[in-house]
Amino acid sequence: MLTRRELMMSAAAAAFLPSAGRAASAGSFCLFSKHLPDLGWKDLGRAVKDAGFDGVDLTVRAKGHVAPERAAVDLPKAIDEIRSQGVTVPMVTTELTSASHPHAKPLLQAAAKSGVRFFKTGYWQYTASPDVRAQVAAVGSALEGLTALARECGIELGFHNHNGYIGAALWEIAPAMDRLDPKWAGYYFDPRHAVAEGGGGSFKAATYLVAPRMKMMALKDFYWEKTPKGWVIQNCPMGEGAVDWAWMGRAVAGAQFAGPISLHFEYDIPGSTAAERTSRTLAAAVKDLAYARKFFK
């Protein structure tokens, strides 16, 4: 017999789950520009358009398509050139971890004025300190400052749950996120990292946890492999790994998510020249996009 607590958890989960077979609704499918580093802004837009994507998840960080220190000048130009090819730029990926960073305000202002709705923050690493609570509290304070700046600039913040960093286990960052204005701060949810952190089933609870405040999504896949050095994570094309995409699509649909979805290709794509790597990356993008569309409309 189920306990009262178990019944309540089941009811909460059911509220997010749609009927079987329903796919999640996405505002747009974007390609993460990190994977096409050799293309200029206009060529990037054209390549993404030709591959069947709606938009670009544009890197505005060190070694990205726009240098953060040049964002005030270059970001509007980059967005205009990308849009000239018939695709959108609904989100930018940054390394921002503090509102006091000298590039933070000019970058976010330039993005917002150019019509970008969302930005991804940077990452906060654990230190050698055994005081994990103090480290998580410090990240919470940093998020408060970034959210205040996001509100001032008119752009929405997305926290990315990346394994190995603070907040990968979404439970630890959720109390801090809950204190922030949901209009300006939410999650850039990554099912791959959620499964890597909670493959036994807690990834489902993590999905329900963030669903009401999900701003964007990142799609990629992985599997665990036993090697002579122990178990390691191997990245792979979508559908070849551990993520249950059918379940994830239904759960996200139940949350009525309609934000941008960014496709990532963290697995190795070989190529002896820049042109060959670009060509093979775009071929992989077309394949993964076709797979993603089965579960996310």
88 pLDDT above the threshold of 90:
yes
Q: Is residue 1 part of a domain?
A: no
Q: Is residue 11 part of a domain?
A: no
The pLDDT score that the predictor gives to residue 297 is: 78
20 pLDDT above the threshold of 50:
no
| Residues in Cβ contact with 123 at an 8 Å cutoff, skipping those fewer than 6 apart | 95, 97, 160, 162, 165, 166
121 pLDDT above the threshold of 70:
yes
Q: Is residue 70 part of a domain?
A: yes
The pLDDT score that the predictor gives to residue 222 is: 96
pLDDT grade, residue 13 (50/70/90)?
very low
| 160, 181, 182, 238, 246 from 151: Cα distances, Å | 19, 9, 11, 35, 35
231 pLDDT above the threshold of 50:
yes
Residue span of the structural domain in which 82 resides: 21-292
The pLDDT score that the predictor gives to residue 178 is: 97
Q: Is residue 5 part of a domain?
A: no
Total number of domains in the chain: 1
Contact 149, 190 (CB under 8 A): no
pLDDT digits (tens, 9 = 90+) for 250-272: 999 999 999 999 999 889 898 88
Q: Compare 86 and 128 and report the one with higher pLDDT.
A: 86
The pLDDT score that the predictor gives to residue 18 is: 38
The pLDDT score that the predictor gives to residue 7 is: 32
CATH number assigned to the domain comprising residue 195: 3.20.20.150
The pLDDT score that the predictor gives to residue 198 is: 85
Q: Is residue 181 part of a domain?
A: yes
- Which of these ranges, 1-10, 148-157, 253-262, has the smallest mean pLDDT? 1-10
The pLDDT score that the predictor gives to residue 247 is: 96
Q: Hey, what are 142's tokens?
A: 């940093």
The pLDDT score that the predictor gives to residue 26 is: 56
Q: Please tell me the distance from the alpha carbon of residue 105 to that of residue 125, in angstroms, as a whole number.
A: 23
pLDDT grade, residue 5 (50/70/90)?
very low
Q: Is residue 88 part of a domain?
A: yes
What integer is the mean pLDDT of 135-140? 97
Q: Is residue 26 part of a domain?
A: yes
Give kind and range of the element (H or E) at residue 28.
strand 28-32
The pLDDT score that the predictor gives to residue 17 is: 38
**Terminal-to-terminal C-alpha distance of the chain:** 38
The pLDDT score that the predictor gives to residue 271 is: 84
Mean pLDDT rounded to a whole number for the chain: 91
Q: Is residue 159 part of a domain?
A: yes
The 8 Å CB, 24+ separation contacts for 79-83 are 79/114, 79/115, 79/116, 80/114, 81/40, 81/41, 81/42, 81/45, 82/41, 82/42, 82/44, 82/45, 82/48, 82/56, 82/58, 83/45
pLDDT digits (tens, 9 = 90+) for 28-55: 999 999 999 999 999 999 999 999 999 9
